[in-house]
Amino acid sequence: MATTIPLSSIPKESWDKIPASPRTPMRQYIWAKSYQETLAQGDVRAFLVGSASDPVALAPFAVPSSGPKRPVLLGAEDLWESIEVAAGDERALMELAQRIANCGTPLRFGHHPTDTRFLELLAEACRGKAHIVTVMQPTRAMPRIELDSSWAEPESHFNSRRRSDFRRMGRKAAKIGEVTFEIVEPRRDELRILLDEAFAVEAKGWKGRSGTAISQDEKTEAFYRDYARRAAHEGILRLCFMRIDGKAAAMQFAVECDRAFWLIKVGYDEAFKGVSPGNLLMRETIRYAALKGLKSYEFMGKEAGWTKLWAGDARPIATLRTYPYNLAGLSAFAGDGLAVLQKKLAERMKRRGADA
């Protein structure tokens, strides 16, 4: 991508000062740096509007170490986060879209939020230059709670049955052992031990059974450990635990920045499933965020049944890809089409096998 510049050419303070909203953790320099060190095949490179010392819009891409060997918006497919480009205003966003459309390289954006002008501007910029594919997803992403003082008592937002459920789960947990909650800003000397514990808890739940736990993929684990180290150095990392007699029953991997609590990873030990430790810990961290005066509690990833218990607000997303009108674009388009066809055939064969 000749129209991009490497991560090393952009100072951290310049990268982080672009006034984009929302300022998700994925838009920060340390996310890009950790990705380059662990998951990228080669350099992270960014489309840039403005100068390296004074950027006004930015979109970082890298070829991931697994999957199609084409540039992907950082973490949008291998980490399955809804990543966004960053721009200070619509004019900068328009110029960024034009630079992307003119690059001549097929690009993948993962599941990009659609409640932004970027998709419209990119579609306009791609006319006559590239084919753009936008597939709306049935599941929304990035659920959130807009906090106010009432969230210092999270149960007040539920009906009487839900409030009773929380009291009952709390009593059941207390019968097993002493229940404690921790929201830790880890010191350097305790970070590794706490991460070991958090990742072990995650692997004891459904993610461990499905093979998607952090600790089950060497490169993914390397990314989150590197990112945790950088986030801890910045003072934004929060590792949260619910313990029963000292044993971790549930965990959260989160960061606190831009006056928001960003929930990046959650997990619980299924040995304690009967007391709903994930929800009990959620109640405590929401209370913490409200009492601290944070403006929002942000659930990263896609909307799910457990997030709907807490947050009704989420963002629509679409799978977004661009294919320039050249040989590289044609090859990428054919390859993606073949992959879709193979997936559909595999699913059909699986259904037929189940019906046999």
* Model confidence pLDDT, tens digit, residues 144-158: 999 999 999 999 999
Domain definitions of the chain by residue range: 5-141+316-355, 148-294
The predicted structure's pLDDT at residue 354: 63
What confidence tier does 341 reach under pLDDT thresholds 50, 70, 90? confident
Q: Mark 54-85 as b/e (b = at least 16 C-beta within 10 Å).
A: ebbbbbbbbbbeeebebbbbbbbbbbebbbbb
| Residues 5-141+316-355, CATH architecture | 3-Layer(aba) Sandwich (3.40)
Model pLDDT for residues 264-303, shown as the tens digit of each residue: 999 999 999 999 999 999 999 999 999 999 999 999 888 9
pLDDT at residue 1 above 70?
Answer: no
- Give the span between the Cα atoms of 277 and 1, in whole angstroms: 47
Element (H, E) at 242: strand 237-244
**In residues, how long is the chain?**
356
> How buried is residue 166: exposed, middle or buried, by Cβ count under 10 Å (0-12/13-18/19+)?
middle
Beta bridge partners of 320: 134
Whether pLDDT at 325 is above 70:
yes
End-to-end CA distance of the chain: 49
**Of residues 120, 111, 145, the one with CA closest to residue 260:** 145
- Could you tell me what percent of the chain has a pLDDT over 90? 76
Three-class SS state of 11: coil
Confidence of residue 119 (pLDDT cuts 50, 70, 90): very high
- Asked if residue 356 has pLDDT above 60, the reply is no
* Domains 5-141+316-355 and 148-294 agree in fold: yes
For residues 310-323, average pLDDT: 92
φ and ψ of 311, to 5 deg: -125, 125
How many whole angstroms separate alpha carbon 284 and alpha carbon 292?
12
* Average per-residue pLDDT for the chain: 92
pLDDT digits (tens, 9 = 90+) for 244-263: 999 999 999 999 999 999 99
Mean pLDDT of 190-205: 95
Write down the pLDDT at residue 100.
96
Alpha helices in 235-326 (DSSP H): 277-291, 305-308
**Cβ neighbours of residue 350 under 8 Å, at least 6 residues apart?**
none
Q: What is the pLDDT of residue 257?
A: 92
State residue 331's pLDDT score: 93
For residue 268, the one-letter residue type is Y
Indicate whether 140 pLDDT > 80. Answer: yes
Q: Is the confidence at residue 351, as pLDDT, over 80? A: no
What pLDDT shows up at residue 218?
Answer: 94
Mean pLDDT over residues 121-144, rounded?
A: 94
Type of residue found at 305: G
Q: How confident is the model at residue 346 (pLDDT cuts 50, 70, 90)?
A: confident
User: Measured between alpha carbons, how far is 265 from 213 in angstroms, rounded to an integer?
Assistant: 10
Q: Quick one: CA torsion of 69, 315, 182, 234, rounded to 10 degrees?
A: 60
Res 290: pLDDT: 98
- What predicted TM-score, i.e. pTM, was given to this entire model? 0.92
* pLDDT above 70 coverage of the chain, percent: 98
Instruction: Assign 344 a pLDDT band (cuts: 50, 70, 90).
Output: confident
**Contact (Cβ atoms closer than 8 angstroms) between residue 267 and residue 202:** yes
**Mean pLDDT over residues 37-66, rounded?**
93
The model's confidence at residue 355, banded by pLDDT at 50, 70 and 90, is low
Closest CA to 107 of 347, 336, 342: 336
Q: Is 2 helix (H, G, I), strand (E, B) or coil?
A: coil
How far is it, in rounded angstroms, from Cα 17 to Cα 38?
A: 24
Q: Single out the residue of 147, 196, 155 nearest to residue 296, CA to CA.
A: 147
* Residue whose C-alpha is closest to residue 244's, from 208, 268, 266: 268
- CATH code for the part of the protein at 148-294: 3.40.630.30
The mean per-residue pLDDT over the stretch 118-140 comes to 94
Task: Give me the pLDDT at residue 2, please.
Answer: 59
